[in-house]
Structures are given as C-alpha cells and as structure tokens.
Amino acid sequence: MSSPASPRSLLVWHVHGSWMESFVAGQHRYVIPVNPAKDADGRGLMGRNWPRAQEVSIDELRDEDIDLVILQRPEEFDLVDRWLGRRPGVDVPAVYVEHNTPRPYAVDSVHPLAGRRDITLIHVTDFNRLMWDNGLAPTRVITHGIADPGRLYTGDIAAAATMINEPLRRWRTVGADLLVERAEHSPIDVWGVYTAALDSAVGGRVRGKGDVPPRLLMRQLARRRVYLHTARWTSLGMSLIEAMYLGMPVVAVASTMAPLVVPAEAGVVSADVRTLAHALEGFVTDLAAATVAGKSARDFAIAHFALDRFLARWDCVIDECCG
C-alpha cells in the first residue's frame, strides 16, 4: 500500500479514546474540536499526548483548511455545517466511521448513511458491515490496529481480568451479569469507567478497579491469569485485542466478532455458560496452560492487528478521498 504524497489536515472528534490513540499515530495533522464545556462535541485532547493532533476551538474552525472530515456520529453532520461552514460530502470530502454493532435490531437497523452515495461508510469489523443495512452507501472495513505494548504477561495473580466501561448501566449488553456467576469459580478484577461501583452493587469476588491510565493498566492486566470477554452485543472491543497483545489467554462469549479473532489455541470461545466457567477456572488454576495459550493469542494479535497495517489502510482511503 502506498502512502499519501503529503500529510493531510483531518477534522476528527475525540469520541473513542482507544481508537483515536491509533488513528492519530499516522502522518497527518489531526484537528480536534474543543469547546469551553469540553463535552462530547468538544472534548479536545483530554490531556492525551498526541504530537500530531491539535485542539482547535469551535469558534476558529472556519479558518482551518480541512482536507477531509472523519465523521463518527450522526450529529456531526450538523456540527460540521455550523462550525466549519461546509457540508460533509458536498463542500468538503468526508468518511463516516461506524464503531458499533447495529441498534436497536441485529439485522434490520438501517444505517444513517444508507441513503447517501457520496460518503464512504467504514466499519471496524466485517461482522458489523454484514449486519448493518448499509443501503446505497459505499462500504469498507478497516479493522483495529494497536501499537504493540510488548509481552508483559506474568499471570502471577490467580484471577481473571476484564475491561468494561459503565458495566452497571450497560449490564446485559456487555455481559456484566455473567460476571457474578463466573466469579463463583474464579475472582474477577474489572477495570473501566464507573467500575468502582461494582464492589457495592455486586460484591463477592467481582472487584471493580476503576479507570486506570493505559500504561499502568496494561501492567496490572498482565499480572492476572486470564482475560474474560463477556460482551453480548458490542463491536469488537480493542481491550480484547490489547489483552491478546499482552500475551493473555482468552475466555470469551461467542458473540459478534469474537469467535473470529480468538483462535482455538488462544483460549476458549463458547455460548455455553458452563463451558465458559470451566475454561475460566482451568486457566486460573493452571499457569502453564495459560502461558501457552497466551503466546498463541499474542501471535494472532500481532499478525492481524498491527498498527502499521491499520495506518496504511487509512492512508489509502485518505488519499483517495482527497485526491
């Protein structure tokens, strides 16, 4: 894949932190809107160290020379029109990144871009593209890419680990209810936004660890024996891929894209709750087996989710749209 002739100026909102971490690692200039409230429409960098990204006040966006808009939410069409003074796909080139599985229905949800031919719709998994009704929109898939954190796995703590943001609010969607049953067999440490409340709400051996900075989080995760992925209906979480990169074995609910990214030698993927419980307990009590499976998980992650591949595919799309 060839790179663009020169870096472009891209307007993109800070919506999904892990995805943005990879996206802004490219060679372009990333313009990120910021407003005084620093709400969902103007979060800015949120303290992230992204050398090629630049916060720009929403009042100054009209003065920016933007080559391409990266849309991620339906409301951003109106924001671009009001703040940039240009219509996405008409006055300025645009693509739309769909991060989620279809809502509210598994197969009958019509995507907001289904009636447009002028904006490419980019899904983050093949499963998502298959399940959304994309209508007339031209579609592509650019799967996640992650910078290799290194093989940090030690597994010296005989417990399972998982990462779930807002588990109490998102409950069955993210499979938080499954944590209670699984914790009867093995303790489970849970990291993510609003996970500290799990201790009082669920108790027992489900232990909420809160929202921890990424570098520290990776080392804490890698000390746990196995990674548990419970999501019923979410897109492929980058947290699962990160755990595989660390060298952790995986026990995962067989839903959405998970069965296609966790090979048999890397762990256990099943829709049978008894199988999941048995696999979790087996890895927690057998460090040697967990270490072997974790190595396979890491090998798969490196082969399929390299950051260079992710950025190269994005460069091709950016070059086509701006060319």
**Mean pLDDT per 10-residue section of the chain, whose length is 323 residues:** 71 96 97 96 95 97 97 98 97 98 95 97 98 98 97 98 96 94 89 90 88 93 98 96 98 97 98 96 98 98 98 97 90
* pTM assigned to the model: 0.94
CATH number (domain holding residue 186)? 3.40.50.2000
| pLDDT of the residue at 203 | 72
Which sign, positive or negative, has the C-alpha torsion 38, 40, 46, 51?
negative
Nearest to 230 by CA among 208, 250, 201: 250
3-state secondary structure of 190: strand
* Same-domain status, 214 and 259: yes
Within a 10 A sphere around the Cβ of 255, how many other Cβ atoms?
18
* Same-domain status, 240 and 123: no
| pLDDT of the residue at 98 | 98
The whole-angstrom separation of Cα 153 and Cα 218 is 9
* Same-domain status, 106 and 184: no
The whole-angstrom separation of Cα 85 and Cα 206 is 49
| pLDDT of the residue at 5 | 54
| pLDDT of the residue at 1 | 45
* Same-domain status, 65 and 94: yes
The whole-angstrom separation of Cα 198 and Cα 188 is 11
| pLDDT of the residue at 148 | 97
- Domain containing 166 equals 157-304
| pLDDT of the residue at 201 | 83
| DSSP per-residue letters across 114-131 | TT-SSSEEEESSHHHHHH
3-state secondary structure of 263: coil
| pLDDT of the residue at 260 | 97
HSE of 230, CA atoms in CB hemisphere, 13 A: 28
3-state secondary structure of 188: strand
* Same-domain status, 173 and 290: yes
Q: For the chain, how many structural domains are there in total?
A: 2
| pLDDT of the residue at 83 | 97
